[in-house]
Amino acid sequence: MEKYLGKEFADLSEREKFLRDNADGMENIGYAKDIPSEAVEKLKEKLAQATIKKMAVEKLKEKLAQATIKKMAVEAENILIIEA
Listed by start position, the domains of the chain span: 52-84
pTM for the model: 0.49
Distance of alpha carbon 13 from alpha carbon 10, whole angstroms:
9
Answer for the pair 9, 18: CB distance below 8 angstroms, yes or no: yes
80 pLDDT band (50/70/90 cuts)? confident
- Tens digits of residue pLDDT in 6-58: 788 888 888 888 888 888 887 888 878 888 999 999 999 999 999 999 999 99
* Centroid of chain to Cα 58: 20
Return d(Cα 78, Cα 11) in angstroms, integer.
Answer: 87
Indicate if the pLDDT at residue 2 is higher than 70: no
First to last CA, the chain: 98
DSSP H or E segment with residue 33: none
